[in-house]
């Protein structure tokens, strides 16, 4: 059976530093970039809880970076409680946990097997987008990832001071002169810092993965 990977809408509650856990909310029926929708009420996670590992980027050849301590569907949403190992247990996993805390990682992804689905066409910003509506699906795993397939698939750790993404309306609205993306504007500086952080994060993650695969010393 084909395994499908999808990034869902995730909201994350404040982390419990002592337990190194947080609850995440997923699957609110949003349409992703491929025009697909996952029905939160259709999740089957019984087998997943027999081995509730959370890999990095769907990498099944390396040790998992976390595990799901609990999972449930409530209020039309899929909830799971992620727990990360300590730095002494697994340094790379601790790095991933800290990156979520710092807001540098903001997404998760699910791997699942479709059990029942149908084609559906949506009207988005005046254009037709045809995709799949998954009605029933078996959850195989949940992964930490950097790039979401769903434009709304970002997380908030409930920590004060973290920047929030602009809404489509905010992005398209005219900006006052002092906020335009000029050479000296605060927005330009912030965008540059985010780009540098993303490049540094991608390099760090790739080096860690290469190390664990034995490609570098």
pLDDT tens per residue, range 55-114: 999 899 999 999 999 999 887 788 889 999 999 999 999 999 999 888 888 788 888 999
Question: Could you tell me the residue range of the domain that residue 10 belongs to?
Answer: 4-159
Q: Are residues 53 and 94 in the same domain?
A: yes
The pLDDT value given to residue 181:
36
Beta strands in the chain (DSSP E): 4-7, 11-12, 21-26, 37-38, 43-44, 53-54, 66-74, 77-83, 107-124, 127-145
Q: How far apart are CA 72 and CA 138, in angstroms?
A: 13
Domain-terminating residue out of 159, 183, 203: 159
Token look-up 């727990």 returns 83
The pTM assigned to this predicted structure is 0.65
Q: Are 36 and 132 in contact (CB under 8 A)?
A: yes
Q: Are residues 187 and 213 in the same domain?
A: yes
Q: Are residues 212 and 140 in the same domain?
A: no
Dihedrals φ, ψ of 90, to 5°? -160, 100
Q: Are residues 78 and 23 in the same domain?
A: yes
Domain count, the chain: 2
Q: Are residues 196 and 127 in the same domain?
A: no
Q: Are residues 116 and 185 in the same domain?
A: no
DSSP secondary structure letters along 13-37: PPPBTTTTEEEEEE------TTS-E
Confidence of residue 152 (pLDDT cuts 50, 70, 90): very low
Q: Are residues 11 and 79 in the same domain?
A: yes
Q: Are residues 190 and 126 in the same domain?
A: no
pLDDT at 29 over 80: no
């Amino acid at each position: 059976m084909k395994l499908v990977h999808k990034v869902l809408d995730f909201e994350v509650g404040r982390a419990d530093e002592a337990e190194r856990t947080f609850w995440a909310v997923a699957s609110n029926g949003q349409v992703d970039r491929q025009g697909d929708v996952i029905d939160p009420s259709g999740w089957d996670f019984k087998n997943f809880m027999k081995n509730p590992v959370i890999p990095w980027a769907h990498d099944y050849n390396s040790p998992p970076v976390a595990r799901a301590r609990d999972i449930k569907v409530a209020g039309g949403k899929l909830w799971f409680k992620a727990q990360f190992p300590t730095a002494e247990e697994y340094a790379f996993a601790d790095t991933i946990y800290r990156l979520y805390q710092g807001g540098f990682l903001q997404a998760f992804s699910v791997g699942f097997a479709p059990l029942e689905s149908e084609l559906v066409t949506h009207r988005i910003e005046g254009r037709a987008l045809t995709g799949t509506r998954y009605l029933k699906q078996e959850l195989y795993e949940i992964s930490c990832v950097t790039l979401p397939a769903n434009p709304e698939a970002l997380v908030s750790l409930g920590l004060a001071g973290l920047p929030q993404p602009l809404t489509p309306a905010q992005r398209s609205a005219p900006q006052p002169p002092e906020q335009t993306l000029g050479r000296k504007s605060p927005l330009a500086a912030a965008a540059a810092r985010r780009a540098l952080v993303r490049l540094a994060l991608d390099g760090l993650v790739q080096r860690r993965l290469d190390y664990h695969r034995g490609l570098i010393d």
